[in-house]
Amino acid sequence: MGHADADRPQDVELYKVLLTFIKQRLLHVDNVLSTPPVRRIEIESCALQVRISLEHLVLSTLVANRPATAAVVEAFAKKSASDARSIVKRINKDYWPIPFDMERHPSKDGVIKMAEPSDPYLKEPEWGRAYGYCSSILHAANPYTYVTGSRTSSNAGDWDRITQLRDYSNKIQRLIKNHQIYLSEIDHSFICAVPENDKEEPSVTVFVRTPKEDQ
């Protein structure tokens, strides 16, 4: 994989913007859910932020393809998440970010290689389940389900929602912390780093696209 000149700087900047949006939303989720008591309205707000982050995740790979992006946005507007992701996969089958850690090569001194993270991260098959879960929280609940609970919320069932939303937030953040992404329409891939704090901006390095099966 060779380094390439960033001859499409607008793609780089737009991708950094989308990563920043995801990061800001999920840091907000972490902050709200880690500060009890958490009210139901706050849980719903966090579910919305996680769901929008999931949308940004699949939209981000289309930053080089404006017509395709418009089609996916329209599909999301019609509340058809499966249609939106199908459009993305049809345009770019390699749309899902590839997370990595950097570690020393076991047999080559001084050589650093990319390795799959040992920490849990959001995998592609989980996307639909995560999106559906967040959407379910945003619908009004059956009023008979409201009961008094003793854990951080007016409904004991909300504790499970808090735990699950935290888990999805953590997995998405781990997915994008260090990752490679293949964009549609261009022969480049991006190597990206998203700092965990809210002070530093994401960084994106552009490389000549190399077929994944040859890596």
Model pLDDT for residues 69-104, shown as the tens digit of each residue: 788 888 888 768 888 888 888 888 889 999 999 877
Report whether 7 contacts 182 (CB < 8 A): no
| C-alpha to C-alpha distance for 205 and 128, rounded to whole angstroms | 29
180 within a domain of the structure (yes/no): yes
Q: Number of structural domains, the chain?
A: 1
111 within a domain of the structure (yes/no): no
Map tokens 């003793």 to a residue: 150
- By CB atoms closer than 10 A (0-12, 13-18, 19+), residue 122 is buried
Q: What is the pLDDT of residue 167?
A: 98
165 within a domain of the structure (yes/no): yes
- Could you say which residues of the chain have pLDDT below 50? 1-6, 148-153, 213-215
Q: What is the pLDDT of residue 48?
A: 97
| C-alpha to C-alpha distance for 55 and 138, rounded to whole angstroms | 15
32 within a domain of the structure (yes/no): yes
Q: What is the pLDDT of residue 1?
A: 41
Q: Which domain holds residue 33?
A: 9-97+123-214
Residue 50, number of CB atoms within 10 A of its CB: 23
Report whether 180 contacts 190 (CB < 8 A): yes
42 within a domain of the structure (yes/no): yes
Q: What is the pLDDT of residue 215?
A: 45
Report whether 138 contacts 47 (CB < 8 A): yes
128 within a domain of the structure (yes/no): yes
Q: What is the pLDDT of residue 2?
A: 40
Q: What is the pLDDT of residue 111?
A: 59
Q: What is the pLDDT of residue 206?
A: 87
109 within a domain of the structure (yes/no): no
pTM: 0.83
Peptide bond preceding 99: is omega within 30 degrees of 0, i.e. cis?
A: no
Phi, psi of 124 (to 5 degrees): -55, -45
